[in-house]
Amino acid sequence: MIEITAPQKRASLFEGPNARAAVAMEQLGRTTPALLRAVSAAPSYPPFSLVGCGSVGSKTALHLARAGAQILAVSDSNELRPHNMARHALVRPPLPWPKAFELSDELALLGQKPEAHLIDVVRGLKRADNRLLISPPGTGTLLNTTASSLVRDALSMVSPAELPARMAEIALFGRGRGGFVFHKGSNRNPSLADLQAVLSATVTPYERTLLFDPEFGLTQIQIGEGCGSMTMPMTDARLSAMTAMATEELMRLAGANADGGELVVGVAEPDSPSTSWRRLSVSKFLEIPVEGSEWTLRLSSHVAGMIREETARFPNVETGGLLIGSCSSLMKTVTVVDLIEAPEDSVRTPTLFVLGTKGKKNRIDARFEESGRSLLDVGTWHSHLAEQGPSPTDRKTAKQVAVERAPPAILSHCHSSHVPCHHASGRAMNDYLDAYSIKARLAPAALAIAPVIVLIVLAFNWVQPSLPEAIIGLAVMVLFFAASNVARRLGKRKERQLFATTGGRPENRELNHLDKTLDERTKDRYRKFLAKQLEQPAPTRDMEVEDPDEAAAFYVQCYNWLRENTRDTEKFRILFNENIAYGYYRNLLALKPYGIVLNLLTIAAAAAIIYYKPDFACCRG
């Protein structure tokens, strides 16, 4: 402390001898999170790590840092480009430089020491070492700001043991007039993907307009040769305002750290500066394995309550309805977030429920459109008066469902006082014979076990068959059908191995500008057609280079649409036959090593029978 006093005959405190002025001193300090937290009157939050360093990510990171929140890591695989300057929190020269590195340097000026990683998050989450980079130890909340469905699904698939941090997401929509915040529940339940499905099921009419109306949707902005952006046009002021409010909600959620999930949606009022936000707590989803497959049914607690209410309305008869939700072949999940009541012509009896058809298609179509074409009719449910497993009628219905509709199709049943407890997937029911099963599964299996069957037929005495021969014959039949299921499972495993070594499903690359499988004119025609069906712009060559994940996501959606719209095997007979041929050769390739082993064992067994001439052998004596 320095004391300055004015001596006698001095007219001013700051007028020194010889007309020299005295300079006031001030204390200099460092910018630290603690200082910023105190100035902001903000509470202490568990540390954050960020995925995505674009416009929303960069502004969110700076909002968090200025509130004194610690940021441990930032990850992004892209670079800053001139067009990013329209809305990015950073201002940089035109030379490209990784967004993560630049954002990390900016945060360092606020007393932060975040690690910066130039990493593809979707691929990185599959490796333990990369997961530690994306979400370092000590991370309380891993925040996704990429607005990428691929990243959202990848984060939803990672188990808490592999990545223990809570997860959240911030994204804008409607050209910045809307935004949402997802905050995962503990133990990844509900997941980010679950919360996205809940959002689609609960949107208000105005939110629906901003989310799904093409007027407010994604628009391709041409920036210049060699650079492109698929984004929403909006001003920096609008993006900054909505991101700031979303960050406030994120900090509230991170501080509360509730056990369940939470969904927060904000929209700016039309022709008004005011913004309204609604909050929705989302309880844990019920996770139920689908019978006979690797799939899982995720049933929202809200839907479980609706099922209880419906069964309570009909305590003395079976009742049911339609399941509404989404499905992901990547995550192998069917997520149910809503119900449609049974049509008025449905039949309810103490032993049977028959779902009616009056108005059913119109209601399904209307729900599909209301959800922005994201929620589908994924199956049916019905109650049982007694607590029991699937009845023979249930299984018969499951087979019919499998034949009549595209997979996955869920048939759910429950006791009148419980939520659904058993599920049969029509697609997973391999105990029936259709054209595909016979030609693509049974035929390869028959070739693989043919030597065993021939040996049994030739070695045993079938002229006067006794009980042992009958048992063996039955065992051969069981082996035959079991081999069909084994062929399918081994074929799927072989397919995954082939895709892993060849860069993924080939059909998801064929529309890429750099792929040479199809000529450019054909690819351009296909892209335009599919973009129109999906109501999304097709990526340009530059977009594929700048944001390959986003482009890949578009092509995956293209082929998902094609698969869902070519299920009619009579109308698309040529395609169906090609699928059968592919399944046949894939399963045959997978069975090849096992077939070789069976051949060698059969030769050894035949030699032993000829040499030892056992009592059961027809060649004895």
pTM of the model: 0.63
| pLDDT for 578 beyond 70 | yes
| Least confident window among 234-248, 405-419, 496-510 | 405-419
Task: Say which CATH class 34-282 falls into.
Answer: alpha beta
**pLDDT for 521:** 87
123-156 tens-digit pLDDT: 899 899 999 999 999 999 999 999 888 899 999 9
**For strand 48-51 and strand 71-75, is the pairing parallel, antiparallel, or unpaired?**
parallel
Which range has the top average pLDDT, 92-101, 236-245, 267-276, 598-607? 236-245
429: left (phi over 0), alpha (psi -120 to 50) or beta: beta
CA–CA separation, 190 vs 286, rounded Å?
9
Phi first, then psi: give them for residue 417, nearest 5 degrees.
-110, 10
Task: Please tell me the distance from the alpha carbon of residue 534 to that of residue 555, in angstroms, as a whole number.
Answer: 11
Q: Which residue intervals of 343-466 are DSSP H helices?
A: 360-370, 392-404, 435-436, 443-459
Tell me the C-alpha to C-alpha distance, in Å, between residue 384 and each of 84, 299, 305, 319, 420: 58, 18, 16, 8, 10
For the ranges 248-257, 400-409, 493-502, the maximum mean pLDDT occurs at 248-257
What is the predicted pLDDT for the residue at 434?
Answer: 63
To the nearest 10°, report the CA torsion of 344, 350, 354, 357: 0
Q: What is the pLDDT of residue 185?
A: 86
Residue 269 above 80 pLDDT? yes
At residue 408, the pLDDT reads 53
What mean pLDDT, rounded, does the chain reach?
Answer: 80
Mean pLDDT value of segment 425-453: 67
Question: Which has the closest alpha carbon to 233: 77, 95, 83, 97?
Answer: 83
Residue 427 has what pLDDT? Answer: 41
Residue ranges of alpha helices (H) inside 503-572 are: 520-534, 541-546, 548-564
Residue-by-residue DSSP string for 236-276: HHHHHHHHHHHHHHHHHHHHH--SSEEEEEEEEPTTSS-EE
The mean pLDDT value for 520-548 works out to 85
| Confidence bin at 426 (pLDDT 50/70/90) | very low
CA dist 526 and 180 (Å) reads 33
The whole-number average pLDDT for the span 221-229 is: 37
Locate tokens 């058809």: which residue?
357
**For residue 194, is pLDDT > 90?**
yes
Cis peptide preceding 408, ω within 30 of 0: yes
Tell me which residue has tokens 């030609």: 439
β-bridge pairing 296-299 and 333-341: parallel
Is a pLDDT exceeding 80 seen at residue 13?
no
Helix (H, G, I), strand (E, B) or coil at 88: coil
Of the listed ranges 70-84, 358-372, 557-571, the one predicted with least confidence: 557-571
Residue 440: CB partners within 8 Å, gap ≥ 6?
A: 579, 580, 582, 583, 584, 587
Cis amide linkage into residue 190, ω under 30° from 0: yes
Q: How many CB atoms lie within 10 A of CB 249?
A: 21
Dihedral-angle region of residue 187 (phi above 0 means left; psi in -120 to 50 means alpha; beta otherwise): left
pLDDT at position 498 is 82
Residue 161 has pLDDT above 70, yes or no: yes
pLDDT of residue 481: 65
Q: What is the structure's pLDDT at 71?
A: 96
Query: Taking the domains of the chain in order of start, what are their residue ranges?
Result: 34-282, 286-428, 432-621
Q: Is the pLDDT of residue 457 over 70?
A: no
345 vs 429 pLDDT, higher one: 345
Beta bridge partners of 288: 297
Query: What is the mean pLDDT of the segment spanning 320-326?
Result: 91
For domain 286-428, give the fold: Cytidine Deaminase; domain 2 (3.40.140)
Say if residue 595's pLDDT is above 70: yes
